[in-house]
Structure 1
Amino acid sequence: MYDCRGDVDRVPELLARVEREDDATAWDELGYRLVLEHDLVFPASFAALPRLVRLASRSARARALAGTILRRSAGNHGCDDLLAGCAGAIAAFREVLDRHLRSRPDDYFATFRDRLAVEEQYHWSAVLGDFSDDFYQVACPHCAAAVTIAIGDYGRYSAIRDWHLGDVDRRRLRPASPEDLSGVGRWMHETARRDGQAVLADGIAHLFGRAACPRCGSIFNIADEYAASNRPVMW
């Protein structure tokens, strides 16, 4: 169960340290041994996951590190058997995250993205913004025009982005009504509303709503087109 440096004994030592006490130095080293730059994870990452989950209800650093590992688990890590063996820990982590979300914590949005990863919604976990300054680029399914979708404090619109003029020919987005949502969009919206996250819930309604193409005027579902164009290939 090697880590990013090829070591097989260091991660268990570090886990034992953080289980005894909240050792910031040990947590820092665990972080870079289990999740390397460029989002790489290793056998030790999944081997450590059950112990991190057991700490997650009382340790923000354990919760964040476990979430980071799960968000990276869609990549080409070659550890699918180890990930499958973590099913029990992942189920327990789902409960930990749900309880934390219901408490409306300061790190709500980061926890929300980790919760999406638990449900294997890796794409939305990676790209979802907090709708303060969000832009999504999609191709119109009818005329293939490059359409910019803006959802933020400055407006909620579709537009054609011009290098010199900015977003031109803006069209107001058409948010989905709660009863029309389904699948992951419905879960995201209902969870945000349950927890009093009005801005997040409104942004999700717009993201899973419809937009008009400024070029040809056709109407399309934003989330469907964005996911079809940008969802990474699963290994």
Structure 2
Amino acid sequence: MVNWTQMHDCYGDVDRVPALLEQVELEDKAEVWEELGHRLVLEHDLVFPAGFAALPRLMRLASRSAPARGLAGTILRRAAGHHGCDDLLADCSDEISEFRTLLDQHLQSRPVDYLAAFLDSLAAMEEYHWSAVLGDFTDDFHHLACPDCAVEVTIAIGDHGRYSAIRDWHLGDVDRRDLRPASPEKLSGTGRWMYETAVRDGHEALADGIAHLFGKAECPRCASVFDIADEYASADRPVLR
């Protein structure tokens, strides 16, 4: 049982969030959801204790409410941060497991918010890094340090191409080398789940981007070949609690 007297929202209130939750359970009003979202989550990945306290109720509502599903996913994506609410997350592990199943069913319906639900699913799997950094591969550029010579390598995976290069601010990306996508049968773990889910749901561009993300790149400076995902994870990993 949540002790709401200790669960403040972004305004320091302890009674408004439970009142709003009661309202949305009775009637799915957009203005109530808007206030609830503002009170639970601020920009810059900050979630207040009331957000994690509300999570079980939000996930139970998610099967019949798109705003509940979206808000629950937004909170989960920020669970890697410094929030001091580990006990609240542990207490709703069953709800998170059910929420993950619900999200998977939602993904199979090929919704317009597919990528958001995909990222929420990764958060529900505690894959907070990929949930935080994965894009849609339409215009994705990542700047990674070569693990051998330390030069900054630009990795492009998107409509502009799939290559590694050295970025020159006057000439653009020079000395391009084609990326080497991973073979689907050699993918494992989270990479395999991401790829197979995107393929299952008919998102070929996302699946192709994931195959390249978990593939290899050649450094244009020293010609060493490295795993993109390993360096990507190391460079962009969010600060964990």
TM-score range for the pair, normalised by the shorter chain length = over 0.9
Equivalent position of 1:89 in the other structure: 95
Cα deviation, 1:10-36, whole Å, max 9, x if unaligned, reads: 001111111111111110000011101
Residue 153 (structure 2) pairs with residue 147 (structure 1): yes
The secondary structure found in structure 2 opposite 1:38 is coil
Residue 231 (structure 2) pairs with residue 225 (structure 1): yes
The secondary structure found in structure 2 opposite 1:161 is strand
Identical aligned residues as a percent? 74
Equivalent position of 1:175 in the other structure: 181
Using the TM superposition, give the Cα deviation of residue 123 of structure 1 relative to its aligned residue in structure 2, in angstroms: 1.1
The secondary structure found in structure 2 opposite 1:138 is strand
2:133 and 2:236 in contact (8 A); partners too: no
1:46 and 1:86 in contact (8 A); partners too: no
Cα deviation, 1:139-164, whole Å, max 9, x if unaligned, reads: 11111110000001111000001111
Residue 43 (structure 2) pairs with residue 43 (structure 1): no
Query: Normalising by structure 2, what TM-score?
Result: 0.96
Using the TM superposition, give the Cα deviation of residue 54 of structure 1 relative to its aligned residue in structure 2, in angstroms: 1.2
Equivalent position of 1:5 in the other structure: 11
For 1:160 and 1:57, locate their aligned partners in 2 and report how far apart those are by CA, in whole Å.
47
For 1:233 and 1:34, locate their aligned partners in 2 and report how far apart those are by CA, in whole Å.
20
2:136 and 2:206 in contact (8 A); partners too: yes
The residue identity in structure 2 corresponding to 1:227 is A
For 2:33 and 2:208, locate their aligned partners in 1 and report how far apart those are by CA, in whole Å.
36
The residue identity in structure 2 corresponding to 1:161 is R
Equivalent position of 2:222 in the other structure: 216
The correspondence of residues 21-40 of structure 1 with structure 2, limited to 5 A, is: 21-40=27-46
Correspondent of 2:114 among 108, 112, 125: 108
Query: Normalising by structure 1, what TM-score?
Result: 0.98
The secondary structure found in structure 1 opposite 2:44 is helix
The residue identity in structure 1 corresponding to 2:27 is E
- After the TM superposition, which parts of structure 1 deviate over 2 Å for at least 4 consecutive aligned residues? none
Using the TM superposition, give the Cα deviation of residue 211 of structure 1 relative to its aligned residue in structure 2, in angstroms: 0.5
The residue identity in structure 1 corresponding to 2:54 is A
For 1:37 and 1:108, locate their aligned partners in 2 and report how far apart those are by CA, in whole Å.
22
Correspondent of 1:74 among 61, 64, 80: 80
Cα deviation, 1:73-101, whole Å, max 9, x if unaligned, reads: 11000111111111111111101101000
Residue 68 (structure 2) pairs with residue 62 (structure 1): yes
For 1:81 and 1:65, locate their aligned partners in 2 and report how far apart those are by CA, in whole Å.
20
Correspondent of 2:58 among 49, 52, 63: 52
- The CA RMSD measured in Å over matched residues stands at 0.8
2:132 and 2:238 in contact (8 A); partners too: no
For 1:138 and 1:210, locate their aligned partners in 2 and report how far apart those are by CA, in whole Å.
13
Instruction: State the number of aligned residues.
Output: 235
For 1:112 and 1:38, locate their aligned partners in 2 and report how far apart those are by CA, in whole Å.
20
Residue segments in structure 1 that go unaligned for 5+ positions in a row? none
The correspondence of residues 127-146 of structure 1 with structure 2, limited to 5 A, is: 127-146=133-152
